[in-house]
Every structure is written in C-alpha cells, then in structure tokens.
Amino acid sequence: MQYISTRGRAPRLDFGQVLLDGLARDGGLYLPESWPRVEPATMRAWRGLDYAGLAKQVMRLFVGTTIAPADLDRMIDDTYAGFGHKAVAPLKQLGANEWVMELFHGPTLAFKDFALQLLGRLFDHALDRSDRRGVILGATSGDTGSAAIEACRDRARLDVFILHPLGRTSEVQRRQMTTVLSPNVHNIAIRGTFDDAQDMVKAAFGDEAFRDQVGLTAINSINWARIAAQVVYYFHAALALGAPDREVAFAVPTGNFGDVYAGYIAASMGLPVAKLIVATNENDILARFFRNGDYSSAGVRPTWSPSMDIQVASNFERLLFDLKGRDGEATAAAIRTFRETGHLPVSDAEIAKARLLFDAGAADDARTIDTIARVFAETGEILDPHTAVGVAVARDRREGVPAGTPVVVLATAHPAKFPDAVEKAIGRRPALPARMADLMERPERYDTLEADVSILTSHILSHRRNA
C-alpha cells in the first residue's frame, strides 16, 4: 500500500516511511492512495475474533509488507494484553439501541492508548530495524503527556521527554506522568506556562541540526498509524452488533477529528455505518461545518471537556481532500484561504456529500453536567464529561438515524480522570481503578528547568541514554 499527501506534491511513501515522517514535505497529511475494501464475507469471518485478532486483520491492510507479519502480530498482542478489561473495548447498553463503547481501559484511562500503545512499539521496531535511536519530545497541559509516556516507557530505542508547566496541571495528571520511573522517561517541569513549554518544543524541532543529531520525533495526532489503529474498534463494535448484515451508527466526542475520521475510514472500507455523529462542546467549529457548511475559527473557550477544546482540527484536512475529489491542489488552496481569511471555502455539493455520512451537534457545559446526572439516574453508569457530550448529541440527533439502528457512543475517557465535573453532576467523586488506586502514594521523579530552549536541548543531549 502506498500513501499520498493531501496537498498532492509530496513523494509517495510506504507505511514504514509515513510512520516516521509524520507531516508530508508539502505541508499536507498522508493517507492511503485508495481505501482497502473489506467484503461482507470477510467481515462475517472476522466475527468472533478477539480484539487483538481483529486488529491484526485490519492493521495488515494498512501496513502492507513493510513490517513482517509475525512482528506486527506480536506488537499488537503486547499492546492489547496491557489493557485492564478482557474485552479491551467493551460495549455497554444504556437504553434501547443506545450503547457506549468503553475505550478507557488502557494504561492512561483514555482512548488515545489504543493507538499510542501500538505506536510506541512500531517506532521502536522501525528504529531497531535501521539501527537508530530516537527521541520523542512533547509538551502537555495534562492529558496527552501521560499517554505518550506510557507508550514509550521501557522501549529500547526511544527516550521520551515530556514538558509540563510547573504547578499548573492537576495532581492526578502530573502523577500519571512523574510516577513512571523507567530510565528512558524524562519528565520536565517548566517554570512557565503551557504556551512557554509548547514554544520550547517548537524551537527544538526548528533546530534542524539538533533534530537530526538526536532523531527527534513527535507523537502527534496527525500520525497516520494512530488513525489506522483507531479504525479497528469501529469494526469491533459493529461486528458485535450485527454488521455487515445490519447498519450501526456512531456518535464520537470530537476535538482534532482523528477519532471520528477513523470511523469514516471504516465506512470507506465497506463497514455499513448508518451515520457518524460528530459531537463537540462549545468549541463547535466542526459541528457548524457539518450542520451548515460554516467552517470558521473562533477563540478557544475552556470547558468541562478539555481534550475537545480545539478550534482547528488538524485531521479535518484528510476529509476535505476526499470532499474535493482527492484534488491536492484544490485542498491546498482551500487550506490557504482558511489561513488567510478564517473561512474555509466549500461548495454546497461538497457539504451535501459530507452530510450523506456525517451529522453533528454541540453540547455546552450545562448540558454536559446534566447528561452525566441524567445517565447516572437512569442507569447507574458514570460518564466522563467527554463521553457525556457524545451521549447528549447522540440523543439530539437520534432522528437522523433509521429507527432500530443501534447508536454506539464512544466513551473516550474514564470518569475518574475528570472527578470535578463528575462531582458537580452527581455529588461524588469516582474512584480510580484498582490498579491505579495507590497513584497518590507512588514516588515521583522529574527535573525542573527554566523556560529556555538552549537549556532544554543541552538537557536532552546529556540525559538521553547511551547516545
């Protein structure tokens, strides 16, 4: 399988190259030259596979021959063996034809583990094959840092440096990072804000000599391998609910458009998806686009669902490329106009095309809290605020889904990650899962640095292992 750029001017690459390159050289994002098709008979044969077994079948279609099948299978087995629920992505029924798929049984209690746990292994394997070492560098305001750390800990070829603003993350968030004592994990508290930390990371990536010297890589949400790994759970849920002989709809709490875009890929591969419902909080640029074609940026407002406080959804460009008939020039021109004017030019026909599969809605903070309370009263289930946005919008948009079709809401985080929102809704704080219950007593390790990129780069040079 070959990969092409959404802007049409970068070289074709295979999976292994796309994995390590991230962004295409023309500024675009890589995606497969054509969607692999899965026939109904194949899907029926996949029914009953366990999660890792299904992941092997789906991932193979994207990986092609760039990784030996036995190596890929082993990495997939290792990845999902580390999840805290035997079903890996269990389905729970909330009401008639209303389900949640729990994607929070990974090591950091959020769905990003599904892709990042595999990505860390894929990186390590690729570096091993080419006898190189790599450094993962990122800044976090709380959530993604721990997922990256858990993905890279104890990998032979990788060191991971994660910056957080000193004293500005919640204690649970900090401890999820700083209590990982593996020798290749380097937590750094920056005397400054998240933006200061982010600027230092950007400056380090901008220093080409340094970048090449240490093999600097980002684990960000535009990486194709991350998206591919997320396609699996759409198949998993739909097959369990009767696909390919029955349609299934999904409602997806959305920020960077990575997770719901994976659902679009599953549909493009032949999975019978009745609707993909894009659910946003008050930062609703995507909901506005799918409702009435208005893709225009506004300032980001903080909400109870912070991982969705995003107004420029980086993966959206991949969908736009398909809406524009896979025309790289037209995609690049539209993105340029958006940058210059804050408005994305799309035709009525393109919006109509998107609306065949997608629907959308937004839920504000009051609705989020009310939904947590309501679902708890109805079923005893405690939702995290991101999942609550998904349930609220799924209920609002139910009429757009054929009667009798199951709607699966993706539960993207464990409620214990967001205890304040849950307490506001139901008057008590959810407990951490047993394997994390002692988080507040575990020893921590981190260094504290001034907000200065030259201090950061020399710290990385002296602290990465056996350079």
Q: Does 143 bind ligand PLP (CB under 6 A)?
A: yes
Contacts with ligand PLP: how many residues (CB under 6 A)?
16
Task: Out of 186, 386, 395, 464, name the contact with ligand PLP by CB under 6 A.
Answer: 386
Q: Does 391 bind ligand PLP (CB under 6 A)?
A: no
Q: Does 307 bind ligand PLP (CB under 6 A)?
A: yes
Task: Out of 13, 54, 110, 407, name the contact with ligand PLP by CB under 6 A.
Answer: 110
Q: Which residue's CB is nearer to ligand PLP, number 192 or number 255?
A: 255
Shortest distance (Å) from residue 415 CB to ligand PLP: 11
CA dist., res. 185 & res. 146, Å (int)? 11
Q: Which residue's CB is nearer to ligand PLP, number 112 or number 464?
A: 112
Q: Which of 56, 92, 112, 202 is catalytic?
A: 112
Q: Does 258 bind ligand PLP (CB under 6 A)?
A: yes
Within residues 112-141, the interface with ligand PLP by CB under 6 A covers 112
Task: Out of 142, 255, 361, 415, name the contact with ligand PLP by CB under 6 A.
Answer: 255
Q: Does 176 bind ligand PLP (CB under 6 A)?
A: no
Q: Are 413 and 382 in contact (CB under 8 A)?
A: no
Shortest distance (Å) from residue 385 CB to ligand PLP: 9
Q: Which residue's CB is nearer to ligand PLP, number 259 or number 322?
A: 259
Confirm whether 112 is a catalytic residue. yes
**What would the x/- binding string for ligand PLP be over residues 212 to 231, using CB under 6 A?**
---------x----------
Binding region for ligand PLP (CB under 6 A) out of 21-29, 61-69, 204-212, 252-260:
252-260
Q: Does 253 bind ligand PLP (CB under 6 A)?
A: yes
Q: Does 308 bind ligand PLP (CB under 6 A)?
A: yes
Q: Where on the chain is the footprint of ligand PLP (CB under 6 A)?
A: 110, 112, 143, 221, 253-259, 307-308, 386, 412-413
Q: What residues are annotated to the active site?
A: 112
